[in-house]
Amino acid sequence: MAKAVLQKNWYEVQAPSIFDEDVVTETPAERESQVVGRTVKEGLNELMDSTDKYYADVSLKVTDVEGNKAFTEISEMSVSSEYVSRMIREGSDRFDHVVDVQTSDDRAVRIKVVGATLRRTSSKKLTAARNKIKEILEDNANEQTYEELMENIFTDNIQEELRDEADQIYPFRQLEIRKTELLE
């Protein structure tokens, strides 16, 4: 090992409490202040046993350090571009929507939704679906803390509600939350 790395302290990066894994990784640093703000990207299915989202990655940002433990919060969740590409098929419409919401603990979150219709459809029906999705996301965010909202996204609870409501307007082959970002 390099001499510079040997002189540094190693900090265990802790996952937030909603995940099954406690320690995500370790990171070296000379001082605690250098660890705060670092970001670690990990697969969702490695952090949570109760999900089958092999195509989703979670970015954890270090917010606090105590001793040799670095505590994190979820800064972003994203779905792989390959997964989104497989959703869209010929003869159907791609559906994209971006909604900024405020959680009950006053955290601003940007949620990006992507979907694919069964067949081509009118812009009027897609607009109606967007309005319904925005309403559902805002209602869920207003009632939940940031961590609760993210846990419901990870376990597909919110996506199921979105699919049920959007399918009443026009049938979707697939509807998924493509990305969430914590706005600072």
Residues 6-55 pLDDT 10s: 578 899 999 998 888 789 899 999 888 899 999 999 999 888 887 788 89
Least Cα distance to 6 among 28, 37, 26 occurs for 28
What 3-state class would DSSP assign to 154? helix
Q: What is the pLDDT of residue 92?
A: 87
Q: Which two tokens mark 177?
A: 């939350």
| Cα-based distances in Å from 146 to 1, 86, 141, 178 | 40, 30, 8, 17
Sign of the dihedral defined by the CA atoms of residues 39, 43, 46, 50, in that order: positive
Entry pTM: 0.88
Domains and CATH numbers, the chain: 7-79 (no CATH), 81-183 (3.30.479.30)
pLDDT tens digits for range 92-150: 889 899 999 999 999 999 999 999 998 998 989 999 999 999 999 999 999 999 999 99
Least Cα distance to 144 among 110, 107, 181, 182 occurs for 107
- φ, ψ of residue 39 in degrees (nearest 5): -120, 140
Residue-by-residue DSSP string for 31-100: SGGGTTT-EEEEEHHHH-TT---TTEEEEEEEEEEETTEEEEEEEEEEE-HHHHHHH--TTS-EEEEEEE
CB under 8 Å to 81, separation ≥6 — which residues? none
pLDDT tens digits for range 13-24: 999 988 887 898
Sign of the dihedral defined by the CA atoms of residues 14, 15, 17, 22, in that order: negative
CB under 8 Å to 72, separation ≥6 — which residues? 13, 14, 15, 16, 24, 40, 60, 61, 62, 63
* pLDDT over 60 (residue 86): yes
Q: Classify burial at 14, counting beta carbons within 10 Å of its beta carbon; exposed 0-12, middle 13-18, buried 19 or more.
A: buried
Q: Which two tokens mark 150?
A: 């993210």
Q: What secondary structure letter does DSSP report for 105? A: T
